[in-house]
Amino acid sequence: MNTSRYGTPAEIKFCKICNITNQRPNSTDEYRHTRETKHKTIIFDAEGVCYACRNKEKQHNEIDWKQREQELIDLCNKYRKTDGSYDCIVPGSGGKDSVYASWLLKYKYGMHPLTVTWSPHLYTEVGWKNFQNWLHVGGFDNHLFTPNGKVHRLLTQIATKNLLHPFQPFILGQKTFATKMCNLFNIPLAFYGETPGEYGAPVDIHEKKFSNTCEGFRTDYIRGNDITGLHLGGMLIEDIIKEYKIEKNDILCYLPLDADIVEKKKSKCSLWVTM
C-alpha cells in the first residue's frame, strides 16, 4: 500500500458505515514520536468498513454480556475493601465515561472508588461544571493534579512546532497518571476508559486488560523504557532540559512509572477497561 510521508494511506477512503477516513492515526508510543514517525492508521477491511465499526458489530453479536458482568462482579469481590479504604481507582474528567463507570462501581457494585484527574490544558465552562458535578452531585472523592503551567505551555509549544500535536502533553498524563496514583495509594485495581478497539485499533473484543503483548492496549510505562532516548514533543528529553534550562523534576509527571516498580507490582495490579 502506498503511503504518505507520515505513513497515512496515499489514497483517501471513507468507511462505508460511519464515514471515518482511513487517514485517522491509531494510538502510538508518544515517547518515540518524532517528525520521522510513520503512523499506523485505522484498518479498513475488503468491504470498505473500518475496524471500529466491525468491533461494534462483534460487541453486539459475539459477547455474552451476562457472563461479562459476572466477570466484573467476581473482580469486584476479589478487590472490595471492608475497612473503609479505597479499593479501586477511576481516572476521568467528569465526562460520560468516567461518571458512568464510577457511579456503577460505587452504587451498583458496592466498590469504593477514588477518582483521579489529570488537568486539561484549559477548562471550558461546561467541562469544569461537569467535573464539579461528578464530585459534588455524584458523590466522589477526587485527586486533581495540575502540572506546572510554565512547563506545560513549553511542552505544548514544542509538540505543536515539531509534530503539530498540541494535545500530546495531555495524552501523556492520561496514560501514566492513574497508574502512578495506584502506586501512591497502593490500590491494585484501576478502571480505564473504553477499549481502543472502539476507535479502530486492532484489539480483539475479548481483550479486557492492558498488557504489553497486545498492540493498541499498551500503556507506555509497561515497556520499561529508560528515560535516555525518550522524546517529548518530538524532542529528546535530554535536549529539552539542556536547551530550555529546566529541571528533570519539572517533567517527571509526564514520564512513565518507574519500570522496577511496575515489575514488582504487576502481578498484583489489574488495569481493566470498561466496555
* Within a domain: 18: no
* Within a domain: 91: yes
pLDDT of 177 > 60? The answer is yes
* Within a domain: 215: yes
Contact present, 173 and 254 (Cβ < 8 Å): yes
Give the model's pLDDT for residue 275. Answer: 41
Q: How many domains does the chain have?
A: 1
What range defines the domain where residue 135 resides? Answer: 64-273
Give the model's pLDDT for residue 267. Answer: 47
Helix (H, G, I), strand (E, B) or coil at 165: coil
Residue 129 corresponds to which cell in the numbers above?
461544571
* Within a domain: 23: no
* Within a domain: 183: yes
For residue 109, give the CATH number of its domain. 3.40.50
Residue 189 corresponds to which cell in the numbers above?
485495581
Section 187-191 average pLDDT = 90
Amino acid 224 reads: G
Q: Give the torsion sign (CA, 223, 170, 258, 101).
A: negative
Which stretch of 83-97, 99-113, 221-235 has the lowest confidence by average pLDDT?
221-235
Beta-carbon count within 10 A of 102 CB: 28
pLDDT of 196 > 70? The answer is yes
Q: Give the torsion sign (CA, 254, 260, 265, 267).
A: positive
Give strand pairing partners of 74.
none
* Within a domain: 33: no
